[in-house]
Amino acid sequence: MSNFTDLFPAVSSNNVLEMICGIGDGRTVHGVTNSYTMGTASAIELTTSYQDMQGSSIDYILPDGANYVHYEYIVKWAARDYSGICNWRLYFDGYEVNSAFVSNASSFGSSNHGHHLVYINWVFDLTVSTTDYTDGKILKSDWTGAKNIKVMAREHTSTYDARAHWTTWRDGSTSGYPFLDVPLLTVTAYS
Amino acid sequence: MGNLTDLFPAPASNSILETLVGVADGRSVTVPSGTYTFGNVTARQTLSTSYTDVTGSSITYTPPAEANYVSYKFFYKSDSRDINYGSSGIHNIALYLDGTRVARAQKSVAGNYSGSHSNNHASFTQYVEFVFDLTAYSDDISNGKLAGWTTAKEIKVMARDHNSPYYRATIHTNIWRDGTAAGEFTYYQPIIKITAFK
């Protein structure tokens, strides 16, 4: 016999349909109807070519009734040379969401002390009548099945080298560095 | 005949009543408490030594009736504008509710002072975040406490530079892209996220 609430499902008590949240350690996170496996991050050196950011990629399937999807990737960035100027691009299904592009850096200086979090953030609008990848506006009929969302990053030049998922100092020492600073990915679907 | 639960809706299954989230690109978003239109940021914003509204931060919001707490989160970018003095881009952030400053939410943001040179590199992604408590006995906006919130109120962020001509900031901008220092040629539209809790 079925559950009563399977026969008479409750109306949604708010507009949050599901939230997928996990750190980049290879874990599997279960959503309302699908499961997602996070990437596995390690402390890395960036280059002057864009590379996929570990822990940022998800092949996301929309829950029924979704009108907006908020993608949030929190990544630790560290300067290696001078200010460590860095560029971050967001991609949806292989298309760059240009409006979500950010650059970051620390103050210019000869000590590579700049370490901070970078927030890559976008709200995909699914209520539009035509798809505009540049602005992250996606017609629902163009988001069927799993669509990949990911972040790619590069350093500005080899004079301003940068690192990701990286911590140099811990507990008063640099012994044993680099330490992994694991990224966090959150995807929330709203009605 | 409708579902039984349409006639006898279940109580909220958790403490979140609604979340309103969007990019400041002029979009309108409908949530249970109503439809809200976000600002439309189409250019970087240069600060001055007087507080000015941060573009894209304003929203006039009415929480759901059961709300006890309202979280306001404003995500934006800041960059140093000073090319001659330390590149720290010191700026101050003030949160306002219906025209009254929420002093408890005051913040200051800067990069590291790094000497006299021509590099304005300090550039951050960051949040202004505050939680309003609606369970207070009387309004104390300065501390973000209210005795209820039943009508539309504007929430916004204001900002200023530390001083002039040094320690200046610009916001909503990206100065470098793909290996070129092409100037302040791109802008970043900020994001607002409001969550109402029971």
Backbone angles phi and psi of B133, in degrees to 5? -100, 115
Contacts of A102 in chain B (CB under 8 A): 77, 125, 174, 188
pLDDT of B161 higher than 70:
yes
Give every CB contact of residue B119 below 8 A, 6+ residues apart in sequence. Answer: A83, A108, B83, B87
- Comparing A110-114, B121-125, B182-186, which segment has the lowest mean pLDDT? B182-186
The pLDDT score that the predictor gives to residue A82 is 87
Q: Is residue A107 part of a domain?
A: yes
Q: Which residues pair with B59 in a beta bridge?
A: B155
Share of chain B above pLDDT 70, in %: 88
Whether A126 is covered by a domain: the verdict is no
CA distance B185 to chain A (A): 12
The first and second tokens of residue B6, run together, are: 């349409």
| Contact (CB, 8 A) for B112 and B122 | yes
HSE of A7 in the Cβ direction (CA atoms, 13 Å)? Answer: 5
Residues spanned by the domain of A23: 12-63+74-115+153-179+187-191
Name the residue among A108, A160, A79, A104 with its Cα closest to residue B176.
A104
Nearest Cβ partner for A116 among B9, B124, B193: B124
A3 assigned to some structural domain? no
DSSP string, B2-69: --HHHHSPPPPSSSEEEEEEEETBT-EEEETTEEEE--B--S-EE--SS-EEPTT--EEE---TT-SE
- Contacts across the A-B interface (CB distance below 8 Å): 127
Task: Give the model's pLDDT for residue B115.
Answer: 75
Query: How does the average pLDDT of chain B come out, rounded?
Result: 89
In a domain, A50, yes or no: yes
Q: Residue B7: pLDDT above 80?
A: no
Q: Is B2 on the interface with A (CB under 8 A)?
A: no
Task: Using a CB–CB cutoff of 8 Å, tell me whether B198 touches chain A.
Answer: no
**How far, in Å, are A56, B3, B6, B134, B147 from residue B139 at the CA level?**
42, 41, 36, 9, 5
Minimal C-alpha gap between B192 and chain A (Å): 10
With contacts defined as CB-CB under 8 Å, which chain A residues touch B11? Answer: 13
In degrees and rounded to multiples of 5, residue B5 shows phi and psi of: -75, -10
Task: Look at residue A11 and tell me whether its pLDDT is greater than 70.
Answer: no
The yes-or-no verdict on residue A6 having pLDDT over 80 is: no
Map tokens 């100027």 to a residue.
A85
Q: Does B123 contact A103 at a Cβ distance shorter than 8 Å?
A: yes
Domains in chain B: ranges and CATH: 15-197 (2.60.120)
How close is the nearest chain B Cα to the Cα of A38, in Å? 23
- pLDDT tens digits, residue range A151-184? 999 999 998 899 999 999 999 999 999 999 999 9
Q: How far is A97 from chain B (nearest CA, A)?
A: 12
Identify the band that residue B12 occupies on the pLDDT scale cut at 50, 70 and 90. low
Q: Is A75 in contact with A87 (CB distance < 8 Å)?
A: no
Average pLDDT, rounded, for chain A: 93
What average pLDDT does the segment A45-60 reach? Answer: 98
Structural domain count of chain A: 1
- Would you say residue A24 lies in a domain? yes
Q: Measured between CA atoms, how close is A62 to chain B, in angstroms?
A: 17
A6 is a domain residue: no
Is the pLDDT confidence value at B188 over 80? yes
The model's pLDDT over B148-160, given as tens digits with 9 standing for 90+, comes to 999 999 999 999 9
What count of Cα atoms within 13 Å lies in the side-chain half-sphere of residue A164?
Answer: 30
Cβ–Cβ below 8 Å for B188 and A121: no
Least confident of A5-14, B24-33, B43-52: A5-14
- Tell me the chain A residues in contact with residue B179 when contact means C-beta distances shorter than 8 Å: 48, 154, 156-157
Q: Confirm whether A146 is domain-assigned.
A: no
ipTM of the prediction = 0.90
Give me the residue from B9, B126, B174 closest to A101, CB to CB. Answer: B174
- Which DSSP state fits A110? S
Please tell me the distance from the alpha carbon of residue A25 to that of residue A119, in angstroms, as a whole number: 19
pLDDT above 90 for A8:
no
The reply to whether residue A106 touches residue B80, judged by beta carbons under 8 angstroms, is: no
Which structure tokens are listed for B14?
């958790």
- Residue A180's pLDDT is 96
Q: Is residue A164 part of a domain?
A: yes
Lowest-confidence segment of A18-22, A104-108, B32-36 by average pLDDT? A104-108
